[in-house]
Amino acid sequence: GCLLLWLVPSILRSQSSGEVRPRSTPCQQSPTKVSCKGVGLRKFPKELGQGVKYLELSNNFIQNLSGTYMPGFGQLEYLDMCFNQLEVVSATTLAQLPQLRSLLLGSNHLDRNYVDNGRAFHLLGNIEVLDLSANNLENHMAGWYISNLTRLRMLDLSGNKMTSLLAGIFWSTPQLRQLDLSNNYIIEIEEGAFEALEELEVVNLALNSLHCISGFSLTQLRVLNLSHNALELFISEEGAEPYLLQVLDLSHNRLLYFPELPKAHYLTHLNLSNNLIASLLQGSHHPGEFVLRYKEMARFNRTLHTTAGLIHVTDLDLSNNRLQLFPFTFFHSLGSLHSLSLAMNCLQDVAGELLAGGTEPSDHSPALPERAALSVRSLDLHGNAIHVLPRWFFDSLPQLETIDLGSNSIQPCESQGSDQGGNSGGDSHVPAPGDTCTPFYNVPRLKHLSLCKNNITRLRPYAFNQTSLLSLDLSGNKDLFVPKEALEGLEFSLQKLSLRGNQMDDSKAELPCLDTLKVLDLSGNHLSFLPTGLFCSRLESLDIRNNDLLTLEKPALLSWSHSLKDVSIAGNPFSCCSLAWLD
C-alpha cells in the first residue's frame, strides 16, 4: 500500500555541524499529533514540540532518552517508543513531561540501567498507562520501575522474565485496573500479591507456568485469563462475598475436573478447552497417574453442585478434553447457556446418567419435563465418535438453532412421507430404540446443520422434512448419493448448501428445485453437467471448481444472469469450442 507522508518543516534539520542529515524527517503531523513511526530515527526529535500532545516514535533506533532539553513538550500526554533500542531514560527528560499520561516502552532494553531508569520513573506522578512489555525484566526490575506510580490504571509487563509475583509488588499502584502479565515464566503467586489492588478488573496471566490456583480471592475481577499454563486445580475462596467475574479463560491447561466456582454468579463466558477433563458426572474418578496430590483435592468430595451458581453463563467451551458422555443433568442449572462446545472429545453416544434418577430416557418415553430442557442455541460436537443422536436429544434442546456434527459417524434417518423403505430408519416417523440413524426431521428451530465428514454414503428421502434449515453442510462424504427426495422439504428455506469434496458423479447429485438457495458449493466432485434442479434457484455464489464440466448449460445461465455475484470455475476441462456461456 501507499503511505501519504507529510514533511515536517525544516526545523528538523540536524543541528550538528559534523553530521550529514536530511533536511527533513518524513513524519505524519497535525497541530497536536505527530507520528514518526518507522522512519529510521536514532535520536529523540526534540524540535517537534510546540503543543504536541500525541507523539509516536515506535519502530526506530533510539537508544536513550536522557540529558535532553525539550522546550515545547510540556503538553505531551501520549508517548509511544515501542520497538526501539532504548536503554537509558533520565530524570532530567521525564521531569519535562509533567502532563504525560500514557508511556509505551515495549520491546526495548530497559533491563539495562534499570536502577537509574527506575529512579527516573519516580517522576511520572501522573502516568496512567505504562507498557514495559518485552524488556527482559526480572521480578525485582519490574517492581522497581512501578514502585511510585500511584495513579497507574493500565500496566503491561507481558513477555518479560518474571518468575513470581511477590507479596508487595503492587503496593504502590492501588488504582490499577488492567494488568497484563502474560508470556512470562511465573510459577508462583505469593499470598497477598494482589491485595492492594481493590480496583483491579482485568488480569492476563496466560502463557506462564502456574500449576495450582487455590483460594482465588479476587472478587472484584471482571476478566481473568489463565490460559496456556499447567493448571491442574482451580478452587475459588470460600466466602460470603460473590465474585464479579464475567470472563474466565482456563483453556490449554491440565485441569482434571470442572473448576469449583460456587460464587461466580456473574460469569458469562467460561473457556475450559484443551484440558484433561474426562467426566462431568459426580463421583467419577480420574486415573491417578495424572493427579498431582494437593491437599485442596479433598474439597472436591464436598462439592455437590459444581454449576449451581453459574446461572448467567452464556458461552461454555469444553472442546478438546476427554469427555466420553454428554451428561444433560450437568448442564441443567446453566439456565442462560446459549453456546456450548464439546468438540474434539471422545463422545460416542448421548447416553449414561442423563436423568435425575440416573436413567436414560427412551424414544417412547413421555416428553421430558420442562426443567430438563436446555437453553442452548449453538452446539458444537464436531470431531467426536458419535454414531447416533436419539429423538429425545433434540426434544431436550428446543431452542437449538445451530449444530456442528462434522467428523463423526452419523447417518440421517428418512422421515414419514417417503415412498421408499430403507435399512436405516425404514418408514417409521419415530426411530425405534437401537436404531443406527439420527432423526433430523421435524426440528422446527434448527437453522444451521453441519454433517461434513461423517462417511455418509446415501442421504435418505425426506431426511430434513419439516426442519427449516438455512444452511446445510454435507461436504467431505466420499461417494455420497443425494436422491431428489432427500432434500425435499427444504425448497423454501435452504439458502446455503455445500456438497464439496464428495467425488460425486452426475448420477449421485439429484437436487430438487430449491427456490431460496443463494450459495452453492459443488467443488471437488466429478460432475460433467449441473443438476437441473438448480436452474430455478436464484444463486448469488457458485463454486464448481475441480469438476469435469465442459460447458455451462444455457437454462442455468438465464436463471442466474441477474442474481449471480461470484463464481469459481477453475479446474474444469471447458471446451474451447463452446464458450458462449461466458457472454
Residue of 515 and 241 predicted with greater confidence:
515
- Residue 436: burial class (beta carbons within 10 Å; 0-12, 13-18, 19+): middle
- Give the residue-averaged pLDDT of 382-387: 96
**Total Cβ atoms within 10 A of residue 241:** 10
Domain closes at, from 189, 207, 225: 207
Query: 551-575 burial, b if ≥16 CB within 10 A, otherwise e?
Result: bbeeebbebbeeebeeeebeebeee
The answer to the question of residue 65 being in a domain is yes
242-254 average pLDDT score: 96
Across 161-187, average pLDDT: 97
Parallel, antiparallel or unpaired: strands 6-7 and 26-29? antiparallel
Instruction: Quote the cell numbers at residue 274.
Output: 484443551
pLDDT of 242 higher than 80: yes
Which of 205-219, 287-301, 444-458, 527-541 has the highest mean predicted lDDT (pLDDT)? Answer: 444-458
Q: Are residues 491 and 454 in the same domain?
A: yes
| 184 and 158 Cβ atoms separated by less than 8 Å | yes
- 8, pLDDT greater than 60: no
Distance CA 364, CA 44 (A): 79
| pLDDT for 24 | 61
Would you place residue 16 in the very low, low, confident or very high pLDDT band (cuts 50, 70, 90)?
very low
Cα 15–chain centre separation: 52
pLDDT in tens, 409-457: 999 999 875 444 333 333 444 445 447 899 999 999 999 999 999 999 9
Tell me how far apart the alpha carbons of residues 547 and 534 are, in angstroms, rounded to a whole number. Answer: 16
The pLDDT of residue 49 is: 67
pLDDT at 291: 45
Q: Each residue of 19-66: pLDDT tens digit? A: 444 446 688 988 899 999 999 999 988 777 678 999 999 999 999 998
Q: What is the C-alpha to C-alpha distance for residues 330 and 556, in angstroms, rounded to an integer? A: 51
360 versus 482: the higher-pLDDT residue is: 482
Mean of pLDDT over the chain:
86
Q: What is the pLDDT of residues 325-382, one digit of tens each?
A: 888 888 888 999 999 999 999 998 775 444 434 444 554 444 444 447 899 999 999 9
Please indicate, yes or no, whether residues 278 and 230 belong to a single structural domain of this protein: yes
Q: Which domain holds residue 509?
A: 436-582
Check whether residue 195 and residue 261 sit in a common domain.
no
Residue of higher predicted confidence among 309 and 348 = 348
Mean of the pLDDT values across residues 553-570?
89
Of the candidate ranges 3-17, 116-130, 164-178, 523-537, the one whose mean pLDDT is the lowest: 3-17
Which amino acid is located at 177 in the chain?
R
| Residue 430 belongs to some domain of the structure | no
Q: What is the radius of gyration, based on Cα positions, of the chain? A: 31
DSSP run (H or E) holding 91: helix 91-94
Average pLDDT over residues 125-136: 97
For the record, the C-alpha cell of 128 comes out as: 496512567
Mean pLDDT in residue range 119-132 = 96
The percentage of residues in the chain with a pLDDT greater than 70, rounded to a whole number, is: 84
- CA-wise closest residue to 277 among 233, 322, 307, 232: 322
Q: How confident is the model at residue 100 (pLDDT cuts 50, 70, 90)?
A: very high
**Nearest-angstrom CA–CA distance, 170 and 530:** 68
Residue 576 lies in a domain: yes
Identify the domain boundary among 207, 233, 265. 207
Rounded Cα distance between 262 and 114, Å, is: 43
CA separation, residue 282 to residues 278, 301, 353 (Å)? 12, 9, 10
**Same-domain check for residues 381 and 526:** no
Q: Is residue 421 part of a domain?
A: no
- Average pLDDT value for residue range 124-145: 97
| pLDDT at residue 568 greater than cutoff 80 | yes
448 in the same domain as 531: yes
Dist CA 228 CA 230 (whole Å): 7
Distance from C-alpha of 132 to C-alpha of 299, rounded to nearest angstrom: 39
Within this chain, do residues 261 and 395 fall inside the same structural domain, yes or no? yes
- Domains in the chain, number: 3
CA–CA distances in Å: residue 301 to residues 285, 306, 322: 11, 11, 21
- Give the residue from 207, 229, 263 where a domain finishes: 207
CATH number of the domain residue 37 falls in: 3.80.10.10
pTM confidence score? 0.86
Q: Which of 91-95, 172-176, 363-367 has the highest mean pLDDT?
A: 172-176
Out of 58-67, 279-288, 307-316, 318-327, pick the least confident: 279-288
Q: Is residue 522, in this structure, part of any structural domain at all?
A: yes
Q: 107 in a domain, yes or no? A: yes
CB 499 within 8 A of CB 476: no
231 within some domain: yes
pLDDT at 282: 62
Phi, psi dihedral angles at 438 (to 5 degrees) = -115, 130
Backbone torsion region of residue 196, taken as left when φ is above 0, otherwise alpha when ψ lies between -120 and 50, otherwise beta? alpha
pLDDT score at 205:
98
Cα distance between residue 493 and residue 510, in whole Å: 18
What does the pLDDT read at residue 355? 42
How does residue 537 score in pLDDT terms, banded at 50, 70 and 90? very high
List the single range of 83-92, 211-220, 248-257, 364-373 with lowest mean pLDDT: 364-373
Question: Dihedral of CA 385/389/395/396: which sign?
Answer: negative
A 10 A CB-CB count for 184 gives: 25
The pLDDT of residue 561 is 87
- Rounded-to-10 torsion of CA 284, 288, 290, 295: 90
Same domain, 335 and 447: no
Residue for grid cell 482485568: 202
What is residue 93's three-state secondary structure?
A: helix
Check pLDDT > 50 for residue 503. yes
When pLDDT is averaged across residues 567-576 and rounded to a whole number, the result is 93
Report yes or no: 381 and 347 within 8 Å, Cβ to Cβ.
yes
Question: Among 269, 237, 235, 264, which residue's Cα sits nearest to residue 251?
Answer: 269
Task: Give the pLDDT of residue 283.
Answer: 54
Same domain, 149 and 226: no
Positive or negative, the CA dihedral 397, 402, 406, 410 is: positive
Residues 100, 199 share a domain: yes
Is-contact 170 192, C-beta < 8 A?
Answer: no
**Same domain flag for 50 and 162:** yes
220 and 330 fall within a common domain: yes
Say what the pLDDT of residue 66 is. Answer: 85
The pLDDT value given to residue 508: 94
Is residue 403 domain-shared with residue 457, that is, in the same domain?
no
Q: Is the residue at 419 inside a domain?
A: no
What's the rounded mean pLDDT across residues 236-258? 90
Lowest mean pLDDT, pick from 243-247, 390-394, 432-436, 501-505: 432-436
What is the spatial distance between Cα 329 and Cα 40, in angstroms, rounded to a whole number? 62
Cα–Cα distance, 261 to 561 (Å, whole number): 58
Element (H, E) at 142: helix 139-145
Cα 501 versus chain centre, distance: 27
Residue pair 562/542 in contact (Cβ under 8 Å)? The answer is no
